[in-house]
Chain A
Amino acid sequence: MKITLLTLGLAVLIASCGPTKTEEKAETKAEPIAKVEKTAAVEEQNGNALTPVLDAYLAVKDALVNDNQEGAAKAGGTLATALGSLDLSTFDSDKQAELKEIVEVAKNHGEHISESEIAHQREHFEALSKDIKDLAGIVGTDRTLYHQYCPMYNGNKGGMWLSANEEVRNPLFGSSMLKCGKVEEVIKL
């Protein structure tokens, strides 16, 4: 009898250690952060709604320029949160569908950057840069952005990113090719 009870107890214990528990944990964890960001976004309304997104994106870029995986991961998480709290209802209704698509994909990139090793972070960052550029194209930017391009990235297929400085500091290669790249386009206020 004792043994069967023990077995049952063990079985229940193992079952309760399943994936659902960690999911719940993640959810409760994410909520307070989202709330904080939301109030920040409301205060921001007079300025530009994209400010927290661009701040976080550029923080990812700077971390990658410095070969800083940890910093990029942290900023990637911030970026995902900032994108999640963008209030799309304030934009033109005909733009909302496209904005929703961009935000969804960009958020996905931010999440991946928050949990990957650096080569993978750079891949997601390169793809993310196009989304952020499209986003800024629709919403408008709060600062001058430089679309920069390095033709050597990805086996000479090339790769782009955005910077707030004209001077090239390459986030796709970091210190191994810090100055590879040129300004392709200037995105003004």
Chain B
Amino acid sequence: MLKKALLIILIVGAGIQFIPVPINQSDEILKTDFFQIVEASLNIQQVVKASCYDCHSNNTNYPWYGRVRPFAWFLQKHIREGKEDLNFSDFQDYSGRMKREKIRSMISQVRDGEMPLQEYLWMHPEAKLSEKETEQLIQFFENLNTQ
């Protein structure tokens, strides 16, 4: 009985690998990308790309299990929802008012520790913002919104 159950799990596990999942990856840096339109130090760019771009841009740096179902489905859902709320790759396409609103929201979420998401940090400890990085990011975003 146990053997049979294991076999079924194995076959299902292998079977679901054939269900397609879209890949969120692109080599192209769009003209609309956030860092094509705002001036930022390399340090800030690195922090934002490492901590935000996986779910908030058109280019995800997938972990090794990122293409393995069912994990790939969870990632895909997070990425889809993340890009719906904020897509750094299309930042220029937002209206001026919407840009300011997105930046306001970034400040608030980073300040309150809501972003990067806790679940994301479990698997990406390197994306965790240090206190200093948090401060630098908030300062950077605040400067953008007062310009």
Binding site for B on A (CB under 8 A): 3-4, 6-8, 10-11, 14-15, 18-19, 100-102, 104-105, 108-109, 123, 127, 131
Q: Top 6 closest A-B pairs, CB basis?
A: A101-B95, A7-B15, A101-B97, A11-B15, A7-B11, A15-B19
Instruction: Report yes or no: B11 in contact with A4, Cβ–Cβ below 8 A.
Output: yes
Binding site for A on B (CB under 8 A): 7-8, 11-12, 15-16, 18-19, 70, 73, 77, 80, 95-98, 101, 104, 108
Distance in Å from the Cβ of A54 to the closest Cβ of chain B? 19
> Given A11-B15, A11-B18, A14-B16, A6–B8 Cβ distance below 8 Å?
yes
Residue in A closest to B95 when the chains form the complex, CB atoms: A101
User: A7 — which chain B residues lie within 8 A by C-beta?
Assistant: 8, 11-12, 15
Residue in A closest to B8 when the chains form the complex, CB atoms: A3
Residue in B closest to A154 when the chains form the complex, CB atoms: B108
> From DSSP, what is the main secondary structure of chain B's interface residues?
helix
Distance in Å from the Cβ of A13 to the closest Cβ of chain B? 10
Instruction: Report yes or no: A11 in contact with B101, Cβ–Cβ below 8 A.
Output: no
Instruction: Report yes or no: A11 in contact with B16, Cβ–Cβ below 8 A.
Output: yes
19 extra interface residue pairs, beta carbon distance < 8 Å, beyond A4-B11, A11-B12, A105-B95: A3-B7, A3-B11, A7-B8, A7-B11, A10-B15, A11-B15, A11-B18, A14-B19, A14-B70, A15-B19, A101-B97, A102-B97, A104-B97, A104-B98, A105-B97, A105-B98, A109-B101, A127-B101, A131-B97
User: B77 — which chain A residues lie within 8 A by C-beta?
Assistant: 19
User: B108 — which chain A residues lie within 8 A by C-beta?
Assistant: 123
Task: Give me 5 A-to-B residue pairs in the complex whose CB atoms sit less than 8 angstroms apart, sorted by A's number.
Answer: A4-B11, A18-B73, A101-B98, A108-B98, A127-B101
Kindly state the separation between the CA atoms of A105 and B101 in the bound complex, as whole angstroms: 7
User: A8 — which chain B residues lie within 8 A by C-beta?
Assistant: 15
Residue in B closest to A102 when the chains form the complex, CB atoms: B97
Distance in Å from the Cβ of B114 to the closest Cβ of chain A? 9
Kindly state the separation between the CA atoms of A3 and B15 in the bound complex, as whole angstroms: 11
Instruction: Report yes or no: B104 in contact with A127, Cβ–Cβ below 8 A.
Output: yes
Residue in B closest to A97 when the chains form the complex, CB atoms: B95
Q: Which of B19, B97, B98, B104 contacts A11 (CB 8 A)?
A: B19
User: B19 — which chain A residues lie within 8 A by C-beta?
Assistant: 11, 14-15
User: A10 — which chain B residues lie within 8 A by C-beta?
Assistant: 12, 15
User: B8 — which chain A residues lie within 8 A by C-beta?
Assistant: 3, 6-7
Distance in Å from the Cβ of A113 to the closest Cβ of chain B? 13
Residue in B closest to A108 when the chains form the complex, CB atoms: B101
Distance in Å from the Cβ of B125 to the closest Cβ of chain A? 26
User: A4 — which chain B residues lie within 8 A by C-beta?
Assistant: 11
